[in-house]
Structure 1
Amino acid sequence: MTKKQPLKTINWGIIGLGNIAHKFATDLLTVEGANLYAVASRTQQKANEFASKYNAEKTYDSYEALAKDKNIDAVYIATPHALHKENTLLCLDKGIAVLCEKPFAMNSEEVAEMIAKSKAKNTLLMEALWTYFLPHYQYVLNALNEKKYGKVLKLEADFGFYRAFDDASRLFNKALGGGSLLDIGIYPIFAALSTLGTPKSMEASATFFENGADSSCTMQFEYENGAKANLKSTLLEDTPTEAIFYCESGVIKINGGWFSPSTVTLIPNEGTEKTIDFGYKTIGYSFEIEHFNNLLRQGKTESDVMTFAFSEELISTLDTVRKIINLDYS
Structure 2
Amino acid sequence: MKEYRWATLGCGVIANEFAEAMKKQGRSIYSVANRTYEKGAAFAEKHKIAKVYKDINELFTDENVDIIYISTPHNTHIPYMLEALKNGKHVLCEKSITLNSQELTEAVKLAKKNNLILAEAMTIYHMPLYRKLKEIISSGKLGDLQMVQMNFGSYKEYDMANRFFSRDLAGGALLDIGVYAISFVRWFMSETPLEILSQVKYAPTMVDEQASILLMNSKNEMSAISLTLHGKQPKRGTVVFEKGYIEIYEYPRSTKAVITYTENNEQETVEAGKTEDALLYEVLDMEKTVSKSSDEMYLDYTIDVMDIMTKIRKSWNMKYPEEENSEQK
TM-score under structure 1 normalisation?
A: 0.91
Distance 2:3 2:295 in 1: 22
Matched, 1:226 2:220: yes
How far off its partner does 1:211 sit? 0.6
Conserved in 2, the CA contact under 8 Å of 1:10 and 1:35? no
1:306 aligned to 297, 303, 306, which one?
Answer: 297
Q: What does residue 102 of structure 2 align with?
A: 109
Distance 2:316 2:210 in 1: 11
How far off its partner does 1:35 sit? 3.4
* Aligned-partner residue type, residue 97 of structure 1: H
Determine helix, strand or coil for the equivalent of 2:92: strand
How far off its partner does 1:19 sit? 1.5
Q: What does residue 137 of structure 2 align with?
A: 144
- The size of the alignment, in residue pairs, is 319
How far off its partner does 1:271 sit? 4.6
How far off its partner does 1:60 sit? 1.8
Distance 1:320 1:306 in 2: 23
Q: What does residue 57 of structure 1 align with?
A: 50
Conserved in 2, the CA contact under 8 Å of 1:43 and 1:62? no
1:262 aligned to 239, 255, 266, which one?
Answer: 255
Conserved in 1, the CA contact under 8 Å of 2:22 and 2:29? yes
Distance 2:92 2:23 in 1: 16
Q: What does residue 236 of structure 1 align with?
A: 230
How far off its partner does 1:308 sit? 3.8
Percent of aligned pairs sharing the same letter = 28
Distance 2:179 2:239 in 1: 18
How far off its partner does 1:207 sit? 0.8
Conserved in 1, the CA contact under 8 Å of 2:160 and 2:204? no
CA distance 1:42–1:223, change in 2 (3 Å): closer
Matched, 1:289 2:283: yes
TM-superposition CA deviations, 1:253-278 (whole Å, max 9, x none): 112x1111331111111153232332
Determine helix, strand or coil for the equivalent of 2:218: coil
Aligned Cα RMSD in Å? 1.8
* Aligned-partner residue type, residue 70 of structure 2: I
Distance 2:72 2:299 in 1: 20
The answer for unaligned runs of 5 or more in structure 1 is: 1-6
2:117 aligned to 112, 120, 124, which one?
Answer: 124
2:161 aligned to 147, 165, 168, which one?
Answer: 168
> More displaced, 79-88 or 195-204?
195-204
Conserved in 2, the CA contact under 8 Å of 1:261 and 1:284? no
Determine helix, strand or coil for the equivalent of 2:175: helix
How far off its partner does 1:281 sit? 6.3
Instruction: For 1:31-70, list aligned pairs within 5 A.
Output: 31=25, 34-70=27-63
2:4 aligned to 3, 10, 16, which one?
Answer: 10
Distance 1:218 1:145 in 2: 29
CA distance 1:245–1:168, change in 2 (3 Å): same
Q: What does residue 100 of structure 1 align with?
A: 93
Distance 2:275 2:304 in 1: 32
